[in-house]
Structures are given as C-alpha cells and as structure tokens.
Amino acid sequence: MKITDRLKKPDKLFSFEFYPPKTMADAEKLFETVKDLKSLGPDFISITNSSSGSAPYRTVALSGVIKEKLGLEVMAHLTCVGHTKAEIKAITERLKAMNIENVLALRGDIHNIEDSPPKREYRYASELAADLKEIGGFTIGCAGYPEKHPEAADFDADIRALKEKTEAGAGFVITQLFFENRVYFEYVEKVRAAGINVPILPGLMPLTSYNQLRNFTKMFGVRLPRVIEENVSKYAADKDSLLKFSVEYASHQAEALLKNGAPGVHFYTLNRSRATKEILKNIR
C-alpha cells in the first residue's frame, strides 16, 4: 500500500524506522527486532540509507527481504547528493523489482562526499523528488525539521526548501526527532501558512543513553527540556530506570501529539524493539 493512500484513512498511522546492519550478527538481531515489532501491526517500516548514499543496495536488499519474508510495507530511504541520475534510475529499477513503492527522498550529507561539487548531478532533495515523480510508481516522502535544518540560513529558508520538495512530488513529511510537542505544532502552523498541505508525521525517539543526549543535541541542534537532561544524567548508569523514564516521557508525548491532531507517529527504533513496543502499547 502506498503511504499517501494509508494517510487518507481516519485512524492514526504508526511506523518504525531501522537501519541496515553491518555484520551477520547485527542482521540476525535486526530480524528478531522486526519480527517482534511486527506483532504490533505497523502501517509501514522505513529503512535508512547511508548519509552519503555510498551503500544504497544494502537498503534496497533489506527492504526487499523484509517485504517478501515478513509481509511488511516498506519505505526505502534514498539519498541523492552522491549519485548520478543514471545511478538513481538503476536503484529505483531494483526497488520496483522488489515491489517497493514508497521512497523517502533525501539529499544526504554533503560533507561525506569526496568528489568535488561540479561532479554531482543533484544538489537538493527536491531535485530527487522531481525525478522520482517523473520515473513514476512511487509514493514520495521527504524530511522536515521542526527546529530548522542545521544548514538553513533561517526558518523561512527552511520552509521554502520544504515547499520545493512537496511541489516537486513529495506527498508527506516525516519530521526530525524533537522532545517538546509545541515545537511540532508551531512547525505545522508555519508549514500550513506557507501553503504546504501534505500530512506531517512527527518522528519520536526515546533517549536510552547519555551518549545519545550528547550526540543528538550536537548533530541535529535538538533542544532538550530540562526534565530530560536531568533524568538522563541522573540515570546515566542505571539503564532500567533510564528506559522506564524515557518510555513514560515518549508515551505522554505521543499521546498528546495524537490527541491534538497529529496523523500518526513515526518511531526511530535504533534497531531495538523494547522501548518502541512499550510506548506503542501504552498509547494504544
């Protein structure tokens, strides 16, 4: 099923995100996680790509295996800044051969590309979305940044970039993670005021380690409420207590999002099932 068709239904949507494993042991753990979460009946799962797109076929292969073996609807992430248009076309042909019809169109991190800029055929995710629309056969999603993309000059420029992606063919948005719901709803207001009317799925992830707290604030510029900083620091050496706090916080966050109009929730799982499973059980 295409995600845009699913979003037309009145009931809330739930989805999970995974990344391709690097080792056989990691692959076995991932499939156990996916099987465990399948029992919760997600509407779709998404498979990430490397930020530079250097190993797209791991994403393609994993997407195809999960759809075929586990019967789950899959959305493959596709980054473009490190690819030629011919390479993108070849990747989409493989996706179609595996009956994958949902794609998240992403730019990818420029600093991970070794080639000089003139050799690149893509600059923005909007260009990839336009090509995917022309190729046909896919529902296209894109990323949104409730606290602004770190590289955007300002919020207005970031919203303009989002509008370019939706006008090029993206039919829904999945947000970067955030920890204060007002950030999401203020973002939706800004997006709607700009004339962007596609569904905006909030992306959530419970913090399960102190290292995550440091990494996410540094990488994504995500603001953390004091209660999260205090409790993550407090339970840094107590994994069970930290998991309990994080699950409770994310559960309340998800409940409030859904109650106030969010079309569903997209969970960043980090290839683990326990926290996501407990949160979804709580909110259901």
Catalytic residues: 17
Q: What share of the chain is helix, strand, coil (3-state, %, to 5)?
A: 50, 15, 35
Cβ atoms of 26 and 53 within 8 Å: the answer is: no
Neighbours of 182 (CB within 10 A): 10
Q: Which residues pair with 204 in a beta bridge?
A: 267
Q: How far, in Å, CA of 110 to CA of 43, rounded?
A: 32
Polymer length of the chain: 284
Four-residue CA torsion sign, 43, 55, 49, 214: positive
Token pair, residue 172, equals 């829904």
Cβ atoms of 75 and 142 within 8 Å: the answer is: no
